[in-house]
Amino acid sequence: MANIEHPPHPHIPTRVTGLVILLCWLAIFAEGYDLGVLGAAMPALLEDPQWQLTPLKAGLLGSYTLLGMLIGGLTISTLSELWGRKPMFMLCLCLFSLTMGASAWAPTPEVFGALRFIGGLGLGGIIPIAAALTTEYSPAGRKSFNYGLMYSGYSIGILAAAVVAMWLLPVGGWRPVMGVGLIPLLFVPVMAWLLPESLEFLVAKGRHADAQSLARRLGIEVLPKIVVKTSRPGIWNVLAEIFSPRNAFATACFWVGLFMGLLMVYGLNTWLPQIMRKSGYDLGSSLTFLAVFSLSSAVGGVLIGRVADRIGIKVTLVASYVTGAVCIGALTLKGSLLTNYVLVALAGFGSISASLILTSYLANYLAAPVRSAGTGWALSFARIGALSGPLLGGYLADLSFSAQSNFYAFAAAGLLSAVAVFMIPARA
């Protein structure tokens, strides 16, 4: 069994923290656009006369991406602990940007789904690496806040997808909206130059000369002290730590919490515009709901992170998930347009924002040498929940259930996330 010590955190210069957060933010912004664009383009996809998609088939297109994310989160996050976090980060960004752009020229739904699956490999891998880098290069008292700030890029990316869709869908259809996903490739050379490798990774791998050189360049005087005593190399060290007896129950709680949280997030991301359109709103208003959902979650992640650093992350997360579930359920009451905008905003606060801070909680909970891989394994399991969200919405639509049934289902998932987080034990 692995015996891994949690070291005291070295002093990180503010400029280094800011640089890492900015570069990770840009990558997560691109990821948010990639994941949000399908929901924004869903009404146009369903009306495409050549493809003639049913709601269930359209939901499957979203699930191909999430299936790729499941596999990518398992494999790429683990490889990042073996080969380096920075090179795998760059690979992921290139992979999902290229396939995103290629999907704009997909001739059939099958090719579109295959490209979305391949891009999902990169999308699933980049999240745990960004989580590990942000956590590592943040001071102890600002980890949750900085993670929320970094991951606000995800919500802003979804917002950008909604705005681009409102601009391009009426004039060009869904294909130009997908093609915009190629733009992040322009940032790859800058990121390759500026993004530092993980000092934790270099020290854990015994590359002390490289770690010292990088630390001097970054202005870090003390390296992280990581002691790893294990008879199992590589991936077995990762698995032994994640599933060790002292971590097994916490692992289960994190995994269930993230599973239900992502079911709620991806179900709403994919189907919110269509649900609101089915409820009587026009296309512009329906896309505005997605924009409000995304923007509120961007602000909410920063606020929840700040509150979590001050009063405790666990109680903050439980309250956030409960708030989100209640507001999603309240959308069934058919209030005024303004009331529904407020409820959707709070739903974003209590779904996307809460889930991203839960990921930060997990990354900080894990020992340094398995931080990226452990987060990746948890998120990969949670992708099964994310896969279920679009499928659940499509299934309920195919059964001709009312729009309210979707809200009840997603609200129940939020409450189950709150219960799972409440049961996470304190770290020894």
Quick one: which H or E segment has residue 28?
A: helix 14-46
DSSP 357: H
Tokens of residue 411, six digits: 């609200």
Q: What is the pLDDT, as a whole number, of residue 401?
A: 66
CA 334 to chain CA centroid, Å, is: 30
Give me the mean pLDDT over the 373-401 stretch: 78
Question: What does the mean pLDDT of the chain come to?
Answer: 83
Q: Map tokens 């490889």 to a residue.
A: 79
CB 345 within 8 A of CB 293: yes
Residue of 369, 252, 10, 300 lying closest to 144 (CA atoms): 300
Q: Express the helix, strand and coil content of the chain in percent, nearest 5 each.
A: 80, 0, 20
Q: What is the pLDDT, as a whole number, of residue 230?
A: 44
The yes-or-no verdict on residue 232 having pLDDT over 50 is no
Q: What is the pLDDT, as a whole number, of residue 29?
A: 94
- pLDDT tens digits, one per residue of 37-59: 887 787 788 888 888 888 778 77
Quick one: 3-422 is in which CATH superfamily? MFS general substrate transporter like domains (1.20.1250.20)
Specify the amino acid at residue 362. L
CB 130 within 8 A of CB 24: yes
CB 39 within 8 A of CB 63: no
The yes-or-no verdict on residue 380 having pLDDT over 90 is no
Q: What is the pLDDT, as a whole number, of residue 119?
A: 93
CA distance 200 to 224: 6
Of the pLDDT bands very low, low, confident and very high (cuts 50, 70, 90), residue 379 is confident
- pLDDT tens digits, one per residue of 247-301: 889 989 999 999 999 898 878 877 776 777 766 666 556 667 777 887 787 788 8
Of the pLDDT bands very low, low, confident and very high (cuts 50, 70, 90), residue 225 is low
Quick one: which H or E segment has residue 194?
A: helix 188-194
Of the pLDDT bands very low, low, confident and very high (cuts 50, 70, 90), residue 394 is confident
Q: Give the long-range contacts of residues 215-218, CB within 8 A, separation 24 or more.
A: 218/13, 218/16
The yes-or-no verdict on residue 404 having pLDDT over 80 is no
Q: Is 8 helix (H, G, I), strand (E, B) or coil?
A: coil
Q: What is the pLDDT, as a whole number, of residue 309?
A: 85
Tokens of residue 46, six digits: 């369903």
